[in-house]
């Protein structure tokens, strides 16, 4: 039986998700392209929702789903100042599920794992640490949600770094995130360790948005019968574990 999908947002990502949904066992039952399109009765007909809307709409969409007990996957960034409110509401609403990810690409999440491993090796080494993210000119938030996730992972590993800043920095207790906007770049992230002797970099470059869309659909299928709050890393870890069992 096809999974009935509610899709919040019908921009570039929404259209790609819609186009790929049937191949992944979904039928796009309801599209909320604009805030005025929302009808709770239509949402209640769906099995799961995916949100790739706008920073201004995402939180409200998530609240609608939690209250309606419709599992929701959100890949929208720029609204995370309210994520604790969403988690609190989730805790007050049994039988609801919410999964957030700044990046649903399987490759990008493997990059996160490599970043953590390299960060562990480099935390006491005499290198300056910086991060560059490049996206398309229509991206609304800066730095990207993925860049923030990468930087926060590094902050958790390195007690000498106190915060990230969205600019180049010479302060040794900061991680500088350099944001660039270029025409039709799908998403590039580079972590660089540099000193006078040498330089070490790791990079993830997205070639198309299909990787993000497929990851979001797979995460939605995974979330459909779950309860509680999850991250895309929870989904990736369980998926990799299952795949390794099958080898």
pLDDT in tens, the chain (247 residues): 899 999 999 998 999 999 999 999 999 999 999 988 899 999 999 999 999 999 999 999 999 999 999 999 999 988 999 999 999 999 998 889 999 998 898 888 889 999 999 999 999 899 999 999 999 998 878 999 889 999 999 999 998 899 999 999 999 899 999 999 998 888 899 999 999 999 999 999 988 889 889 999 999 999 999 999 999 989 988 887 766 555 4
Q: How do strand 188-194 and strand 199-205 relate by DSSP bridges?
A: antiparallel
pLDDT of residue 85: 96
**Domain extent listing, the chain:** 3-104+209-246, 106-205
Half-sphere exposure at residue 205, Cβ-oriented, CA atoms within 13 angstroms: 6
| Tokens, residue 78 | 């720029």
The phi and psi torsions of 155 (rounded to 5 degrees) equal: -65, -40
Q: How do strand 97-100 and strand 72-74 relate by DSSP bridges?
A: parallel
| Tokens, residue 197 | 């002797």
pLDDT of residue 246: 55
Superfamily of domain 106-205: Dihydrodipicolinate Reductase; domain 2 (3.30.360.10)
The phi and psi torsions of 108 (rounded to 5 degrees) equal: -65, -35
| Distance from C-alpha of 51 to C-alpha of 76, rounded to nearest angstrom | 7
CATH class for the region spanning 3-104+209-246:
alpha beta
- pTM for the model: 0.78
Measure Cα distances from 169 to 124, 178, 190, 201 in Å: 19, 9, 16, 18
The residues assigned a catalytic role are: 135, 139
| Tokens, residue 84 | 């604790």
């Amino acid at each position: 039986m096809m999974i009935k999908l509610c899709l919040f947002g019908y921009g570039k990502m929404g259209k790609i998700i819609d186009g790929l949904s049937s191949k992944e066992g979904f039928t796009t039952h309801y599209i909320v392209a604009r805030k005025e399109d929302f009808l709770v009765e239509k949402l209640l007909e769906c099995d799961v929702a995916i949100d790739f809307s706008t920073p201004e709409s995402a939180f409200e969409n998530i609240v609608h789903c939690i209250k309606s007990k419709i599992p929701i996957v959100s890949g929208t960034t720029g609204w995370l100042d309210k994520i604790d409110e969403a988690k609190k509401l989730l805790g007050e609403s049994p039988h609801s599920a919410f999964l957030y990810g700044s990046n649903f690409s399987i490759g990008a999440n493997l990059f996160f794992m490599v970043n953590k491993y390299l960060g562990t090796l480099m935390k006491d080494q005499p290198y300056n640490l910086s991060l560059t993210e490049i996206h398309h000119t229509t991206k609304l938030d800066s730095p990207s949600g993925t860049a923030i996730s990468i930087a926060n992972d590094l902050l958790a590993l390195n007690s000498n770094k106190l915060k990230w800043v969205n600019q180049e920095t010479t302060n040794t207790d900061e991680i500088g995130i350099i944001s660039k906007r270029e025409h039709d770049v799908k998403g590039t992230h580079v972590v660089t360790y540099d000193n006078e002797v040498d330089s070490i970099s790791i990079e993830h470059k997205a070639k198309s948005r299909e990787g993000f869309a497929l990851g979001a659909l797979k995460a939605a299928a995974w979330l459909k019968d779950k309860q509680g709050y999850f991250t895309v890393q929870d989904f990736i870890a369980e998926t990799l574990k299952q795949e390794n069992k099958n080898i």
